[in-house]
Structure 1
């Protein structure tokens, strides 16, 4: 299985730190966020990863080239950001015709990748996406989920002021090839996964809640919390 790591964001809320450091290379416990992701997915059996870049791409390229995973990583530069789903559509040939892992690599997480893949393989037959979910302490900043008795997503409340719960989209997905076909059918370069793809597959997305750590480190406050809370698993050090 292949993985697409979305890592091209500007990290504006983390400025001035991200004026000189790409968000994916911001450090937690002295280690770049991207390294946690690479260790995590490759140790779980992911064969190859594609990382998109935009802001400070040379820094990301140099870091990847120095990684012991370099031979299993491809990079793609976006002169203009394509959105969280536009990158998927633009790299359809690289993804091929198999299920793939799609992650927002600006989150710090230690979810069970192998278990997540198993749940996708065992998903209800009508589901085309399996979504990682987590319990958030700030629901209004997340996409909050409503589920049916099979844990299939029936409602999605993206960053609303009074969300009906705290079970949130973790922005980690296992997608079937039809997701790529839907994105490409829109015939636009810029496509957003949360506002355009998720609604199109409503009722066909299995939610799998993680009992591990998960946090968007996109603000100074969240980064400080991650430094205090996160305990790297064996293999993350």
Structure 2
């Protein structure tokens, strides 16, 4: 299976840090975020990864060239950001006709990649994608999920004042190839997965809750908390 790691974000909420550092190279315990992701996916069974670049792309390119995983990484540059769905569509040939993983690589996480792939392979009939979910301590800032008895997503509550629970969308997905066809049918280059695509699949999304760590580090407070909370996690060996 191949994976798209969405890494082109500008990181405006982390300024001034991201004025000179791409968001995917922001460090947690002196280690760039993207290195955690590369170890995670490749050690979890992903054969090849694609990173999209935009802001300060030269730094990302230089970093990847020095990664121990460099022979299994492809880069694609976006002069103008295409949105999460637009990036999937623009690289449809790279995915081939197989299921593929898509992740917002601005989260710090240690979810079980192999377990998510296995769950997707045994998902309930009719489901076209599998979504990672996590328990959040700030449900008002997340997309909160409602599930049925088979863990299919029945409803999203996106950043509402009183959400019904704390099970949140982790922004990691495994898509069947048909999802790209649905993106293409919108007839435009810039597409957002979370607002324009995923809500169309209610009842056909299998949800898998991670028992591990998962936090968006997109603002200074979240980054501070990640430094505090993640320090007792074992550091994965190797490169980066």
CA contact (8 A) 2:44 2:114 kept: yes
CA contact (8 A) 1:7 1:106 kept: yes
Partner of 1:176: 176
Q: Could you list the per-position Cα deviations for residues 154-187 of structure 1 after superposition, in whole angstroms to 9, with x for gaps in the alignment? A: 0011122221211000000011001111111111
Q: Is residue 2:77 matched to residue 1:77? A: yes
CA distance in 1 between partners of 2:14 and 2:237 (Å): 24
Q: What is the TM-score normalised by the length of structure 1? A: 0.98
Which consecutive unaligned segments of at least 5 residues does structure 1 have? none
Partner of 2:220: 220
Corresponding residue SS for 1:3: strand
CA contact (8 A) 2:99 2:175 kept: yes
- Deviation, 1:236, is 4.8
- Deviation, 1:131, is 0.2
- Deviation, 1:53, is 0.6
Corresponding residue SS for 2:233: coil
Alpha-carbon RMSD: 1.0
Partner of 1:235: 236
CA distance in 1 between partners of 2:86 and 2:159 (Å): 21
CA contact (8 A) 1:170 1:214 kept: yes
Corresponding residue SS for 1:235: coil
CA distance in 2 between partners of 1:40 and 1:20 (Å): 26
Deviates more, 1:171-180 or 1:156-165: 156-165
Partner of 2:110: 110
Q: Is residue 2:179 matched to residue 1:211? A: no
Any residues of structure 2 matched to 1:23-38 within 5 Å, and which? 23-38=23-38
Which consecutive unaligned segments of at least 5 residues does structure 2 have? none
Partner of 2:10: 10
CA distance in 2 between partners of 1:196 and 1:150 (Å): 24
Q: Could you list the per-position Cα deviations for residues 20-74 of structure 1 after superposition, in whole angstroms to 9, with x for gaps in the alignment? A: 0000000001100000000010011110000001110000000001111111000
Partner of 1:122: 122
CA distance in 1 between partners of 2:53 and 2:170 (Å): 21
CA distance in 1 between partners of 2:208 and 2:4 (Å): 19
CA distance in 2 between partners of 1:197 and 1:94 (Å): 20
Q: What is the TM-score normalised by the length of structure 2? A: 0.97
CA distance in 1 between partners of 2:95 and 2:193 (Å): 16
CA distance in 1 between partners of 2:101 and 2:37 (Å): 12
CA distance in 2 between partners of 1:93 and 1:186 (Å): 18
Number of equivalences: 237
Corresponding residue SS for 1:74: strand
Deviates more, 1:223-232 or 1:30-39: 223-232
Corresponding residue SS for 2:63: helix
